[in-house]
Amino acid sequence: MWTRQDYDAQQAMIREVSEANLASRGFKTSARTETLWAIVGHLFGSTSWEHIDQEKTVPLKFFRLGAPTWENVILIPQTPAPRCTPEQDVYNRSKIPAINHKAVLARRVGDYARTLNEQSNELLTLAKLRREHNDFNADTSHWVCLQSGNEVIDAYNGWVNAFNNAVDGLQIGVSRVFDNAYREVDTLKRCKAEVLRERDVFENSRSGGQGVKGINDAHAKFLAQEAVCSAFALESYDINHKAYDADAYYDALKKVASEEAQVSAVTELDRLRDEYVYKSIDVPSPVDFTRTASSKRFTFAQLNTGSYSWAILKPVLLAALDGIADEMNAAKYKIQLNSVYRNPARSSGKSQHQYGYAVDIQVFDFNGSGGSVDEKDWNLLKIITDRFHPSYTEPVAESGPGHVHVDWRQQSYLLIGGGELPECLA
């Protein structure tokens, strides 16, 4: 007969052992607190004396073996109880193999987790072992009686030890792999910084650094490191209330890649400016180029005689061209611009066409001789261009009589008519 005295002794032992287990796991408890009793009640189900069939032993069901969040659990004490009937022994012992197998699955999780090291980059195998453990159902309901009831408790406590060992191993292994992943992201950020440095030198120095090649080389290193980061196969974990968020890692990786793509992409303007780098001449700033500039008399398409949709067209040149065109118009001279802006691949040396200061104007039969153009026609056009104080006019012996080359290199404004060019602009 299961007496009230037996029941009270059982409850006292449960409290005492459970408090000791909780304290060993770092839980702050005081004797006979409501929190502790709630935990014990959860483990043992209804423990009220009034709910016990005093003619029988007490059926007991433990909570599910292995919470989804994988946190440490406490051991269950053996307690005084009546002796089991043969039928109860059969029932109790039928539960033990499944509980033992559950412990084997938990040990596999812990053992594998501890093999993860500084080179590990995947958690999928561990996740598979964890799911195998969680998905295996081990029924722990049993009769609280001697001796088979305590054998069930022993099997359960064997699982508890294996499970807690797995939790500790998970915390070490998962943390290590996430540390590995973020270490590689830090390296990726340094690769991105190198791309930024190459871009900065290319855009903000007179030499242009290594130009597009420097950016492409740095980008190639970034892509190689990005592949290392992308090879990580992570899954989210919650271990002892510490979250390991795989989505946060992949979001961080995407963010770095998106930022790098904005500076590593090589544009048409980059390719144009790279021609200056290739020729080892001064590289204009990106802000010096335009796709729309025009003058009163000439469209952008007429002024851009290069190979790209970008050009450099200095205001001093545009003003001079409009003035020259007005005077040629007044003299009834035909106007034709042969070349204005040209990219370096279509220019020679340090030609001012590359910097938006120069123009080649076609010479026609301005003197009306009816013959082919000659130096007299060339001089008639030069008289007009001289009125706008070019910095340089290519001699006819070099250019030939077919066109007049003039440029306003390094001039920031135009002197028209009889004004004198300041010494600093001469």
pLDDT, position 210: 97
pLDDT, position 1: 44
Closest of 264, 155, 161 to residue 212, by C-alpha: 264
User: Is 162:103 a contact under the CB 8 Å cutoff?
Assistant: yes
Q: Is pLDDT above 90 for 331?
A: yes
Q: Is pLDDT above 80 for 354?
A: yes
pLDDT, position 325: 97
Mean pLDDT of the chain: 84
User: Is 82:109 a contact under the CB 8 Å cutoff?
Assistant: no
56-111 tens-digit pLDDT: 344 444 434 444 456 666 666 666 677 888 998 998 899 999 999 999 999 999 99
pLDDT, position 75: 66
Write b or e for each residue in 75-86: b if 16 or more Cβ atoms lie within 10 A of its Cβ, otherwise e.
Answer: bbbbbebbebee
198-238 tens-digit pLDDT: 999 999 999 999 999 999 999 999 999 999 999 999 999 98
- Across the range 131-158, mean pLDDT stands at 87
Q: 25: pLDDT confidence band, cut at 50, 70 and 90? A: very low
Residue 49 tokens read as: 């004396």
Q: Is pLDDT above 60 for 36?
A: no
pLDDT, position 141: 80
242-283 tens-digit pLDDT: 999 999 999 999 999 999 999 999 999 999 999 999 999 999
More confident of the two residues 421 and 228: 228
pLDDT, position 52: 35
pLDDT, position 19: 56
pLDDT, position 14: 52
Q: Is pLDDT above 90 for 22?
A: no
- Across the range 177-199, mean pLDDT stands at 98
Question: What count of Cα atoms within 13 Å lies in the side-chain half-sphere of residue 299?
Answer: 2
pLDDT, position 51: 36
Residue 325 tokens read as: 């065109």
Percent of the chain residues topping a pLDDT of 90: 67
Tell me the pTM.
Answer: 0.76
